[in-house]
């Protein structure tokens, strides 16, 4: 975080420096003539000094004006920024006069700078100050907008995360209720394994990523509790390259895909649902054959949509969904 902060500061400084020289060098050559062309080194040193100090002072001033006092009173804020640029510009002109040019006391300096023959030079200097303020203001507003967008994305992501976990709990409890009615021994075994599965959910509910190896260990436990219910009607195979086990995945991604496969397909002992979990490059893939159910499944269809949005937010990538009427395949990117 500190590194990124310093990177932003350096980018702001050099961008302001570059744009200021780019805009005002031609104007200064026309206005000052030989002062610039005859002494380029002194010109660049003086302007580097003025712009560097200006960036520091204006940045501090803008942060005060924008964050603490007048973030909503735009007109007053702009007036204060202009006033600040006028004051800072004149102070820096005086300092640069003392450091780089002739020694001059403060009274003589202001008499000289406000003399009628020098007013165009004063105006140009103040224009430079206003231009620097404008650049910093634009950068400040741009950064605020990016921060706002990031906060919105985080909020959106937390909403998506909170939608998935209750969905998982609801379906798991529905299965347990069904088993209690049919086979109490299986129901007890199911609940014991479900407690191990949900422990993983609780531990990782605040995590954005987990290791693929952890997710695979979890999904195997989850499939164990599915096998209690579906027995020979469900067949799951794995073929994952050990080299990618240390890569990261969003928690419960595989669980959602396996759950969807079971939810939307029939499971018969004579025609089992085959789920294959395998790797392909830097992707983990869940594929299943399609066995249409005779009954219509009531689904609000948020699972895959929410999962895709998660990966879009965290990876800037979409999951890939392939449905060829015989097989349903979902490819998930790894980090």
Q: Quick one: DSSP state of residue 296?
A: P
> What is the C-alpha separation between 93 and 47, in angstroms, rounded?
10
Which residue in the block uniquely carries the two structure tokens 């001033």?
A: 61
Q: What pLDDT, on a 0 to 100 scale, did the predictor assign at position 125?
A: 66
Burial letters 59-96, b for 16+ CB under 10 A, else e: bebbeebbeeebeeeeeebeebbeebbeebbbebbbeb
DSSP 246-295: TSEE-TTHHHHHHHHHHHHS---SSSPEEEEEEEETTEEEEEEE----SS
DSSP 190-217: HHHHHHHHHHHHHHHTT-S-EEHHHHHH
Q: Based on the number of CB atoms within 10 Å of its own CB, is 186 exposed (0-12), middle (13-18) or buried (19 or more)?
A: middle
Q: What pLDDT, on a 0 to 100 scale, did the predictor assign at position 237?
A: 94
C-alpha distances in angstroms, 126 versus 35, 55, 82, 91? Answer: 18, 14, 9, 11
DSSP 174-187: HHHHHHHHH-HHHH
pLDDT digit string (tens) for the chain, length 335 residues: 445 666 777 777 777 777 777 777 776 676 666 666 667 777 777 777 777 777 777 777 777 776 666 556 667 777 777 777 777 776 766 666 655 555 555 566 555 555 555 556 566 666 777 777 777 777 777 777 777 777 666 656 665 565 555 556 676 777 777 777 777 777 787 788 888 887 887 787 777 889 999 999 999 988 988 887 788 899 999 999 999 999 999 888 898 899 889 888 898 889 999 999 999 999 999 999 999 887 766 554 567 887 888 888 777 788 999 998 899 999 999 98
Q: What pLDDT, on a 0 to 100 scale, did the predictor assign at position 235?
A: 93
- List the structure tokens of 187: 């129901």
Judged by phi (left if over 0) then psi (alpha if -120 to 50, else beta), residue 170 lies in alpha
Domains and CATH numbers, the chain: 2-147 (no CATH), 183-333 (3.30.565)
Burial letters 145-181, b for 16+ CB under 10 A, else e: eeeeeeeeeeeebeebbeebbebbeeebeebbeebee
CA angle 101, 104, 110 (to 5 degrees): 110
* pTM for this entry: 0.53
Residue 286 contacts residue 249 (beta carbons within 8 Å): no
Q: Quick one: DSSP state of residue 116?
A: G
C-alpha distances in angstroms, 83 versus 64, 77, 268, 304? Answer: 14, 10, 80, 55
Q: Based on the number of CB atoms within 10 Å of its own CB, is 124 exposed (0-12), middle (13-18) or buried (19 or more)?
A: middle
> What is the C-alpha separation between 287 and 329, in angstroms, rounded?
4
Q: What pLDDT, on a 0 to 100 scale, did the predictor assign at position 4?
A: 62
Helix, strand, coil percentages (3-state) for the chain, rounded to 5, are 70, 10, 20
CB neighbours of residue 139 within 10 Å: 17
Task: Give the three-class secondary structure for 325.
Answer: coil
| Chain center to CA of 183 | 48
Q: What pLDDT, on a 0 to 100 scale, did the predictor assign at position 95?
A: 66
């Amino acid at each position: 975080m500190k590194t990124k902060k310093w990177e932003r500061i350096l980018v702001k400084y050099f961008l302001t420096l570059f744009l200021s020289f780019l805009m005002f060098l031609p104007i200064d050559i026309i206005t000052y003539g030989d002062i610039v062309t005859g002494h380029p080194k002194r010109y660049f040193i003086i302007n580097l000094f003025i712009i560097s100090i200006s960036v520091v002072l204006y940045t501090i001033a803008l942060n005060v004006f924008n964050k603490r006092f007048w973030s909503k009173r735009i007109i007053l804020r702009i007036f204060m920024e202009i006033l600040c640029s006028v004051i800072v510009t004149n102070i820096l002109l005086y300092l640069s006069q003392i450091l780089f040019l002739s020694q001059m006391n403060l009274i003589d300096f202001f008499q000289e700078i406000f003399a009628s023959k020098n007013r165009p030079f004063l105006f140009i200097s103040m224009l430079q100050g206003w231009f620097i303020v404008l650049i910093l203001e634009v950068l400040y507003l741009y950064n605020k907008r990016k921060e706002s967008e990031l906060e919105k994305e985080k909020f959106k992501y937390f909403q998506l995360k909170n939608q998935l976990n209750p969905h998982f709990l609801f379906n798991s409890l529905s299965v347990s209720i069904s088993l209690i009615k049919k086979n109490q021994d299986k129901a007890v075994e199911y609940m014991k394994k479900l407690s191990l599965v949900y422990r993983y959910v609780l531990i990782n509910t605040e995590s954005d990523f987990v290791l693929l190896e952890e997710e695979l260990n979890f999904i195997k436990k989850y499939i164990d509790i599915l096998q209690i219910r579906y027995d020979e009607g469900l067949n799951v195979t794995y073929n994952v390259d050990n080299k990618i086990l240390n890569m990261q995945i969003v928690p419960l991604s595989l669980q959602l895909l396996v759950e969807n496969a079971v939810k939307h397909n029939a499971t018969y002992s004579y025609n089992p649902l085959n789920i294959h979990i395998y790797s392909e490059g830097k992707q983990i893939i869940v594929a299943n054959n399609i066995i249409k159910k005779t009954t219509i499944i009531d689904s609000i269809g948020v699972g895959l949509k929410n999962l895709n949005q998660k990966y879009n937010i965290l990876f800037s990538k979409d999951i890939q969904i392939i449905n060829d009427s015989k097989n349903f395949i979902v490819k998930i990117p790894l980090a």
